[in-house]
Structure 1
Amino acid sequence: MVWRRKSGGGGDSPAGASPCRRDDGECYKVPRGHVPMVAAGCGGDDGGERVMVPVMLLADPCVAELLDIAAQQYGFGQPGVLRVPCDAGHVRRVVERALRKGGGRPA
């Protein structure tokens, strides 16, 4: 028996990406193995900038601290994409540092 990977709905989506819909109806792709986060800045309600975070980094202490701050600010029941209350540059620096440290794997 040969197993085949099913395509996720339409044939226009590349392998490894899943479509998501934004509030304005525009479609974007989330790469497989990533979690989209919206860096909402200090205000938190201005839309923010989307940053893709590899799932393997969720175990990293610095990324986990961002998630704790988001839980304190917005609670655990956030609808839609996960928001973090800091600017996109800070989120990118945390992700890059975690990737250099070892990608969330224990040392």
Structure 2
Amino acid sequence: MMSWKRKTSSGEEEKVVVPRGHVPMLLAGGDDGGDHHGERVLVPVRLLSDPSVAALLDMAAQRYGYGQPGVLRVPCDAGHFRQVLDGAMHSLK
């Protein structure tokens, strides 16, 4: 398993264990995509090949490049991202 650090509300870093088979992502929404903004989510690896999720990853590559340091940032708000993941989960069934 991989360890992932996130900031608590008090500004301290907290270690979080990322479950095997998941990718941590930071939903940057409409902000600048900095590491201190957005919602952090864990996405199952099997969903990354879904065309809708792949399109979001392409958007991330175009906006931030392939050499993003730290957690993978995705330029998407949390509500839209959940809809995309729900659709991807439904298409797997």
2:6 matched residue in structure 1 = 22
More strand by share: 2
Q: Partners in 1 of 2:79 and 2:64 — Cα distance?
A: 20
Give, as a single letter, the amino acid of the residue that structure 2 aligns with 1:28. V
Give the conservation status (yes or no) of the 8 Å contact 1:36–1:52: yes
**TM-score normalised by length of structure 2:** 0.83
- In percent, how many aligned pairs have the same letter? 59
Q: Partner letter of residue 19 of structure 1?
A: S
Offset of residue 80 of structure 1: 0.4
Gap runs ≥5 in structure 1? 1-16
1:74 to 37, 58, 64: 64
Q: TM-score, normalised by structure 1?
A: 0.73
Which consecutive segments of 4 or more residues in structure 1 shift more than 6 A? none
Q: 3-state SS of the aligned residue for 1:32?
A: coil
Across the two proteins, how many residue pairs are aligned to each other?
Answer: 87
Q: Which runs of 5+ in 2 are unaligned?
A: none
CA RMSD of aligned residues (A): 1.7
Higher CA-based Rg: 1
